[in-house]
């Protein structure tokens, strides 16, 4: 299987300029290293009717091209079930009946990061397990054997983050993101993951899970986010931040593309021009404040 990079949005609405900037970067990273570039819709629980078509249109307007068909997570549940089955057979999972509120209110173990699962259901005896099963459906959690894990990032260097007993399948039966993304990347031959640096803290969990499944860990590059003038992560509430909204103000998709490329120190025009001079070592390391062209 050939190596590949990817862009994997959730089809929950229109992409904003921060998403488009990350997509352009993922495309540049992949194409500059001779990789294929794949597109995957992470639609397990956040899909909105018509959103996928709009996202594909906007990516094409930026000049982002992809190889092969678009893949959707909702078509891949059997792959996720197989991976969870392998972990179950190895004794690396357990049933969890905790609600979010119960987890938030439970005392954390010493030195555990905020939000880490405290292990409430990790060692239930048979009677407790049977009782809890009668009360509510269970989520499936990983029985982690480490407290942290280190990954290497092209832009950030070594990064060590916490690993807890994170959810593999939610109590409503939906596969959790951390498992789905690991299985998807491996099955698609993706060995380069370029995404926003807000996802860096979850990466050690994913790399650790990949090691348990004997899956090669991809090369990571977590790129700085686009932020508003207050320094907060850009969102659609920040005004005209989608191509449709900007077009309504007379700003073309080409102008948006050139503005995004300029923020990366790259020349305007078709992405192939930027590709000819693309050098990851020269990319900005700080968040970029969005201002419409």
SS3 160: strand
How far is it, in rounded angstroms, from Cα 152 to Cα 163?
16
Check if the beta carbon of residue 219 is closer than 8 Å to that of residue 195: no
Structure-block tokens of residue 90: 């190895």
Nearest to 138 by CA among 80, 97, 100: 97
121 is in an annotated binding site: yes
Q: Which helix (H) or strand (E) holds 192?
A: strand 192-196
7 is in an annotated binding site: yes
Q: Which residues contact 276 (CB under 8 A, 6 or more apart)?
A: none
How far is it, in rounded angstroms, from Cα 83 to Cα 65?
30
8 is in an annotated binding site: yes
How far is it, in rounded angstroms, from Cα 181 to Cα 59?
21
10 is in an annotated binding site: yes
- 229 to each of 21, 97, 236, 240, how far by Cα in Å? 17, 42, 14, 14
80 is in an annotated binding site: no
205 is in an annotated binding site: no
Catalytic residue among 236, 248, 262, 276: 236
177 is in an annotated binding site: yes
Q: What is the DSSP letter of 171?
A: T
195 is in an annotated binding site: yes
117 is in an annotated binding site: yes
User: In b/e form, how buried is each residue of 112-126, taking b as 16+ CB within 10 angstroms?
Assistant: eeeebbbbebeebee
259 is in an annotated binding site: no
**DSSP letter string, 94-122:** EEE---HHHHHHSPPPTTPPTT----TTT
Q: Is 236 considered catalytic here? A: yes
236 is in an annotated binding site: yes
- Indicate which residues carry an active-site annotation: 236
Binding residues for ATP, as ranges, are 236
Binding residues for L-glutamate, as ranges, are 6-10, 42, 177, 195
Binding residues, as ranges, are 6-10, 42, 96, 98, 117, 121, 177, 195, 236
Binding residues for Zn(2+), as ranges, are 96, 98, 117, 121
């Amino acid at each position: 299987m050939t190596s590949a990079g990817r862009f994997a949005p959730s089809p929950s609405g229109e992409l904003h300029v921060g998403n488009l900037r990350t997509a352009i970067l993922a495309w540049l990273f992949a194409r500059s290293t001779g990789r294929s570039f794949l597109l995957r819709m992470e639609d397990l629980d956040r899909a909105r009717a018509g959103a996928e078509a709009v996202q594909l249109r906007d990516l094409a307007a930026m000049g982002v091209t992809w190889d092969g068909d678009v893949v959707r997570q909702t078509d891949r549940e059997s792959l996720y079930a197989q991976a969870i089955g392998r972990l179950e057979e190895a004794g690396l999972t357990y049933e969890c009946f905790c609600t979010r509120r119960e987890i938030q209110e439970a005392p954390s173990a010493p030195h555990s990061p905020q939000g880490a699962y405290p292990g409430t259901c990790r060692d239930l005896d048979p009677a407790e397990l049977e009782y809890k099963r009668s009360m509510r459906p269970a989520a499936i959690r990983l029985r982690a054997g480490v407290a942290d894990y280190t990954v290497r990032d092209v832009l950030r260097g070594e990064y060590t983050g916490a690993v807890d007993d994170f959810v593999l399948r939610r109590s409503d039966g939906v596969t959790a993101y951390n498992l789905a993304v690991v299985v998807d990347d491996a099955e698609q031959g993706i060995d380069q993951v370029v995404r926003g640096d807000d996802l860096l803290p979850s990466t050690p969990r994913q790399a650790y899970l990949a090691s348990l499944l004997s899956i090669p860990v991809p090369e990571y590059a977590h790129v700085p986010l686009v932020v508003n003038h207050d320094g907060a992560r850009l969102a659609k509430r920040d005004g005209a931040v989608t191509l449709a909204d900007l077009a309504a103000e007379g700003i073309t998709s080409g102008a948006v593309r050139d503005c995004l490329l300029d923020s990366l120190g790259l020349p305007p025009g078709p992405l192939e021009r930027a590709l000819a001079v693309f050098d990851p070592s020269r990319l900005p390391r700080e968040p970029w404040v969005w201002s419409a062209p």
